[in-house]
Amino acid sequence: MSNEDQLKALRHSYAHLLAAAVRTLWPEAQNAIGPAIESGFYQDFDMGDVKLSQDDLKRIEKTMRNIVRKWSDFRVWTVSPDEARTAMSWNKYKLEIIDDLASEGNEITLNDPGDFVDLCKGGHIENPAEKMLNFKLLSVAGAYWRGDSEKAMLTRIYGTAFFTEDELNAYLQMLEEAKKRDHRKLGEELDLFVFSDLVGPGLPLWAPKGALLRRLLNDYVQELREERGYTQVEIPHITKKDLYERSGHWEKFSDELFRIHTREGHEFALKPMNCPHHTQIFDRRPHSYREMPQRYSNTTMIYRDEQTGELHGLARVRSITQDDAHVFCRASQIEDEALRIWDIIDAFYAACGFEALRIRLSMHDPENMNAYKGDADMWERAIDGLRKVIAARGVTDFVEAPGEAAFYGPKIDFIGKDAVGREWQLATIQLDMSMPESFDLTCTNESGEKERIVMIHAAIMGAIERFLSILIEHHAGNFPLWLAPVQVMLAPVSDSHEAHCETLATDFAAMGLRVEVDRSGDTVGKKTRRAVKQRTPYLLVVGDKEMSSDKLHIRTRGSEEVMEVDKQEFIERISALDHSKSTEL
C-alpha cells in the first residue's frame, strides 16, 4: 500500500472513530457517511434536536482517545441485505444505502474494530490503538444528506489526522497562518469586493480596486493569447435547452442550472459553460484546412446553482468568471497548440509569484464509462495525445489520475503550491474529441473531404473568483507591483505640500503607474499606518525637504527603513518593474 493509500486508510478509520464517539455521547445520533478527504476526514450525523458547536469538539476528541485504546484491527465481513438491515435497523441513512446497494447487486460489508459495528466497504488502518494517536477535530458545519437540498440537513464534523505528531503540528500551524491570510478578511480590509444580502449569496460585487485587479489579471492573459494568435469572441449569457442537450451539459449539470421559462413556453438556461456556444461560432461557415487552427478567447460569466452551504467567499460562488479559450484544430496540430497554451501558463503563473507547477494527467475511469461522453477508443486516443504533449515538454515526473477527467475529455492539470504549503489546481489544458462529434465539426482537408476536428479547452485562471481567493491568500494581500491596485501612495505632511504631491502624481501617472495622494488631513503616522494596512508597495512622505529637492524619501512595503532616492531614477525603475511583471520591489 502506498503512503497516500495508508494515509487515506488512517483517516477513513478516524471517521469511524468519530462516529463511535458521537454515538457514545449522544446514543440517539445516527451517523450517515464518513469518508477520508484530502485534508483529513469528516462524518455526517443526524443529531435530532441536539445542536453541536465548536465547544463540543474537545469533549468528542477526549471520548475518541478513550475508545481507540480498546480497538484492534478492523474485522470486515460480507452480509446479505437482510442481515445488513438487521444490524443497521437503528439508522435510516444506512438502511437507505443498503437498499441502494442491494438494488444494484453490489456486495454489502460490515466492519467492527471491537465495539462499533458499521456499514462500510473497507479500507482501514491496522493496529488502530497504536497508530490512531495524532488527530484534531476542526469544525462543525451543515450538509444536506446526499447533497440534496430536498433532503435532511445533517451535522458534519471535520477533522484531520496524520501518522506523526510533527506532521499534525505542522498542518495545524499552516491552518493558523491560513486564517491570517483568509481572502474574505483581506478582501474587506483591502476594499476589493463585497457580498450583499439583497443581491444574494455566492454573487460577489467588485469594488473599484477589486475590479481593477480582475482587469489587470485578465488583460495579461489576453495579451499572452493575442501574441499567440487568439481572437476574442462574445456570447450571450443564456441559451436554449437544445444546445446543452446536444453538448451533454443539460444532463450533466441539470441540478446546477438556473432555468428560465419564457412567456411563449420555451425553456432556456443561464450558461454553466461556454464551450457549446463557441462550437456554434466555429460552425457558422465551412473551414478549409488552410484556416486551421481557429483560436477563440472569451472572458465571460457562467452561472451554477451551487448549494448555499457549499458557498465559500470567492472560492465557491454562483457567478463564475471564466477566462475561457477554445482551439479548434486538426489532430495533427494538437501538440503545437497545447504547447502554445503551456507557454501562456508558465508566463502567467511566474508573474503571479508561483514556483514551478506540478503536472497531473487527469483521465477517465475505465470502469465507469457511463459518466463520460464518447467511447473507450476515443478516450485512449485523447489521453495518448496529451501524453505526447507532456513528453514534448520534457516533463517526466507527472502523475496520472484516473477518474479526474472532465466528462468530455482528459486534461493536463497544473498544480501550484501557495505560500503556506497548500496545493491548488490552477490552469488546465483539456483535449476534447467528443464535442466535435456531437456537433459534427469538420474542416475540408487537402483531398477536399470533410475531416473531423478536435477541440482544446484552455483555462489559464479558470474561475477568476477562485483564482483571486488563492492569489490573495498566497500573497497575504501583498500583491506584486504590477497587480497592486495602488502602486505608490503620496503622503503630504500638511495641506501646503498637497500641490507638490499632485505634481509628483502626474509624473508617476505619465509612466503608466497607479498613484494616489492621501488628502485625509491626518498625521503622517496615521497615513503611514493606512498605507501599510493597504499593502501599498511604495509610500512617499512629502514635506518641505522633499519639495526643495530632486530626492524622494521612500518606504518600501515590508520595510521600516526610509530610503533617499533620485526621483527620475526611482520612477524609471519601478516603471520597468511594472512593465516586466516582476514579482520584486
Assess whether 498 and 462 both reside in one domain. Answer: no
User: Could you report the per-residue pLDDT of 480-532, keeping only the tens digit for each?
Assistant: 999 999 999 999 999 999 999 999 999 999 999 999 999 998 999 999 999 99
Q: What is the pLDDT of residue 308?
A: 82
Q: Which of 424, 458, 475 corresponds to the end of one domain?
A: 475
The rounded distance, in Å, linking the Cα atoms of 536 and 190 is 10
Q: What are the Cα distances from residue 138, in Å, to 41, 54, 133?
A: 10, 8, 16
- Domain with 526 in it: 481-579
Residue at 267 is within a domain = no
User: What is the phi/psi pair of residue 202, to 5°?
Assistant: 80, 10
Q: Give the model's confidence band at 1: pLDDT under 50 very low, under 70 low, under 90 confident, else very high.
A: low
Q: Which of 441, 475, 509 corresponds to the end of one domain?
A: 475
Assess whether 292 and 173 both reside in one domain. Answer: no
Residue at 540 is within a domain = yes
Assess whether 166 and 214 both reside in one domain. Answer: no
Q: What is the pLDDT of residue 253?
A: 80
Q: By the 8 A CB rule, do 563 and 551 touch?
A: no
Assess whether 159 and 196 both reside in one domain. Answer: no
> What is the β-pairing status of strands 515-517 and 488-492?
parallel
Please give the grid coordinates belonging to residue 420.
503556506
Give the residues across from 118 on adjacent strands: 111
Assess whether 139 and 206 both reside in one domain. Answer: no
Q: What are the Cα distances from residue 320, in Å, to 188, 301, 309, 491?
A: 20, 5, 17, 38
Q: What is the pLDDT of residue 147?
A: 82
Residue at 394 is within a domain = yes
Assess whether 389 and 457 both reside in one domain. Answer: yes
Output 390 or 366, whichever has higher pLDDT.
390
Output 547 or 470, whichever has higher pLDDT.
470
Assess whether 30 and 66 both reside in one domain. Answer: yes
User: Could you report the per-residue pLDDT of 62-121, keeping only the tens digit for each?
Assistant: 999 999 999 999 999 999 999 999 999 999 999 999 999 999 999 999 999 988 999 998
Count of domains for the chain: 3
Q: Quickly tell me which residue has 469511524 as its cell.
A: 16
User: According to the annotation, is 275 in a ligand binding site?
Assistant: yes
Q: By the 8 A CB rule, do 463 and 339 touch?
A: no
Q: Which of 475, 499, 520 corresponds to the end of one domain?
A: 475
Q: Give the model's confidence band at 256: pLDDT under 50 very low, under 70 low, under 90 confident, else very high.
A: confident
User: According to the annotation, is 553 in a ligand binding site?
Assistant: no
Assess whether 214 and 168 both reside in one domain. Answer: no
Q: Which residues are designated catalytic? A: 275, 304, 322, 324, 326, 411, 457
The rounded distance, in Å, linking the Cα atoms of 120 and 17 is 13
Residue at 452 is within a domain = yes
User: Could you report the per-residue pLDDT of 261-275, keeping only the tens digit for each?
Assistant: 999 989 999 999 999
Mean pLDDT of the chain: 94
User: Could you report the per-residue pLDDT of 424-447, keeping only the tens digit for each?
Assistant: 999 999 999 999 999 999 999 999
The rounded distance, in Å, linking the Cα atoms of 310 and 144 is 10
Element (H, E) at 152: none
Q: Give the model's confidence band at 168: pLDDT under 50 very low, under 70 low, under 90 confident, else very high.
A: very high
Whether 200 shows a pLDDT value over 70: the answer reads yes
User: Could you report the per-residue pLDDT of 290-305, keeping only the tens digit for each?
Assistant: 999 999 999 999 999 9
Give me the percent of the chain exceeding a pLDDT of 90: 85
Residue at 264 is within a domain = no
Q: What is the pLDDT of residue 164?
A: 95
Model pTM score: 0.86
Residue at 247 is within a domain = no
The rounded distance, in Å, linking the Cα atoms of 304 and 448 is 42
User: Could you report the per-residue pLDDT of 316-346, keeping only the tens digit for each?
Assistant: 999 999 999 999 999 999 999 999 999 999 9
Residue at 240 is within a domain = no
Average of per-residue pLDDT across 349-367:
93
Q: What are the Cα distances from residue 98, in Å, to 19, 77, 81?
A: 18, 15, 7
Output 580 or 3, whichever has higher pLDDT.
580
User: According to the annotation, is 475 in a ligand binding site?
Assistant: no
